[in-house]
Structure 1
Amino acid sequence: MDADHGIAGVKYECLLFDMDDTLYPMSMGLNLQCRHNIEDYMLEHLHIEESEVPKMCLDLYKEYGTTMAGLKLLGYEFDNDEFHAYVHGRLPYEKLKPDPVLRNLLLSMPQRKIIFTNADQAHAVQVLNRLGLEDCFEGIICFETLNPPKEPKDDDDMVIESAEFNNDNNLRDSHIICKPSLEAFEAAIRIANVDPNKTIFFDDSTRNIETGKAAGLQTVIVGRSDLVPGADHVLSSIHNIKEAIPEIWEVEVDNIKGRIQSQGLEAMVLA
């Protein structure tokens, strides 16, 4: 994708954000409910033995990045949109409230800001709308970006499309590209057209952070108090960005380092 790579003098050109359990805390409970919905789908639609479902769901998530990716590789056949509608369609989105503090922080950052999530388009748009952050990001790299559907959707303008992957439908059905695979990170870097050395990646997953670092990104683990392998910074909450990484707002003009004032740079944000 072609885009302005920020303003002169800024150390970082792009901020790449995971969404779930990163832009809002895990305590909201959507993660747990999502796992329950996946287990119900495995039981009701794939007819997997009830006693095997919980362990299988967790094991596949740990092995392949998402349970869905693991199920596909094991040969289970199901429609991706149907799966996402079932798993995300019953989430308690009403628990997510507008976050004006985070919104103001994001709008005060001069860099490009992009969502990078394993979730599908509908879920990503729903979450950002609920948080009041829908206009804080240039675009969304989501499930459909890395795994283009056979038939084009009526896409939201924010969702970044990609046609660079194998067009073999059978291959795409069985091989899902998602974090924490290096393939997913390298694809996101190409699609967003960013320099990884000048890009900061925020995520709550230690596995994603490790791969992000391997892909050359600057990394920030969110929702913890201790550094993990591959992390350059740690945030107990996404709201602590300014205290932990003040250089996001620092610019060098004629070799003099200054600080960008915290004002909504809405003109730089693309819907």
Structure 2
Amino acid sequence: MIEALAHIRTWIFDLDNTLYPARCNLFEHIDRRMTAYVARLLDVDEVEARRVQKMYFHGHGTTLAGLMADHGVDPHAFLADVHDIEMDVLEEDAPLAAAIARLPGRKLVFTNGDKPYALKVLDRLGLGGSFEGVHDIHAMDLVPKPEARAYRSLCDAFDVDPTAALFVEDMARNLKPAKAIGMTTVWVDNGSEQAPGDADVSFIDYTITELAPWLDEIQEPA
């Protein structure tokens, strides 16, 4: 391990567009189902549904958080609906699995999605046995990243010392609260959707485009 990361004891990874490339467009299918859900809920056309969906995503961290706040949406029903997608665009990623396996210490997934969906994605990628646990939206008491409480709940649940932890994310804004509590931050800058006005990247320690090659790069040969 490179000297700058020798202190890391816990490796934390976002799920969507992080453990698989954004170019797979898996989340696009979820995105479309969220638009359709909003359209049915509010009885509006697709254009208006899309506007409302993105307003909630940017303003509340997730579309679900906004729908719960303003419309009392059942989170279980919503997540089951939008995650009902085919995953044939994902393939087993043996190089990534090997790189994660070589990391010294604990490995966790930290996602605004739910655990059943996360486990399906991990299995599809060949990462089903790669992580100690998944901290999902229910474990966060439905308070999503980038809310500070979400990060505290992760640390409390798994007894994580944030100053000895590293967090990898494709959403730059979700790294700011991690940095604030002492985590080392890694932004996967792969073209996935970002919140408006995310020009400040001073809280990002490493910017990468592909996860597996970077994990190989920071580790000494086995």
Give TM-score, length-normalised by structure 2: 0.88
- Using the alignment, how far apart are the partners of 1:214 and 1:128 within structure 2? 28
Q: After the TM superposition, which segments of 4 or more aligned residues of structure 1 sit over 4 Å from their partners?
A: none
* Other-structure match for 1:67: 63
* Other-structure match for 1:192: 158
Task: Report Cα offsets for 1:184-235 as digits up to 9, x if no partner.
Answer: 111111112111111000000011011211122110001349x933110111
Task: Report Cα offsets for 1:49-78 as digits up to 9, x if no partner.
Answer: 22421111111100111000011111x133
Q: Does 1:114 find its partner at 2:87? A: no
Aligned residues: 210
* Other-structure match for 1:146: 140
* Other-structure match for 1:254: none
- Unaligned ranges ≥5, structure 2: 192-199
Task: Report Cα offsets for 1:162-194 as digits up to 9, x if no partner.
Answer: xxxxxxxxxxxxxx3110111111111111211
State the 1:243 CA deviation. Answer: 5.4
Task: Pick from 72, 91, 94 the counterpart of residue 88 of structure 2.
Answer: 94
Q: Is the 8 A contact 2:172 2:187 kept in 1?
A: yes
Task: Pick from 176, 194, 214 the counterpart of residue 241 of structure 1.
Answer: 214
* Other-structure match for 1:231: 204
Amino acid aligned to 2:22: M
* Other-structure match for 2:197: none
* Other-structure match for 1:203: 169
| Sequence identity (%) | 29
Amino acid aligned to 1:22: T
* Other-structure match for 2:18: 22
SS at match of 1:42: helix
Q: Is the 8 A contact 1:60 1:71 kept in 2?
A: yes
* Other-structure match for 1:177: 143
- Unaligned ranges ≥5, structure 1: 1-8, 148-175, 250-258, 263-271
Amino acid aligned to 1:198: A
Structure ranking higher in helix proportion: 2
- Using the alignment, how far apart are the partners of 1:15 and 1:73 within structure 2? 32
- Using the alignment, how far apart are the partners of 1:233 and 1:11 within structure 2? 16
- Using the alignment, how far apart are the partners of 1:47 and 1:183 within structure 2? 29
* Other-structure match for 2:194: none
State the 1:241 CA deviation. Answer: 2.1
CA pair 132-243 structure 1, distance change in 2 beyond 3 A: closer
- Using the alignment, how far apart are the partners of 2:182 and 2:15 within structure 1? 20
- Using the alignment, how far apart are the partners of 1:109 and 1:243 within structure 2? 9
- Using the alignment, how far apart are the partners of 2:154 and 2:43 within structure 1? 33
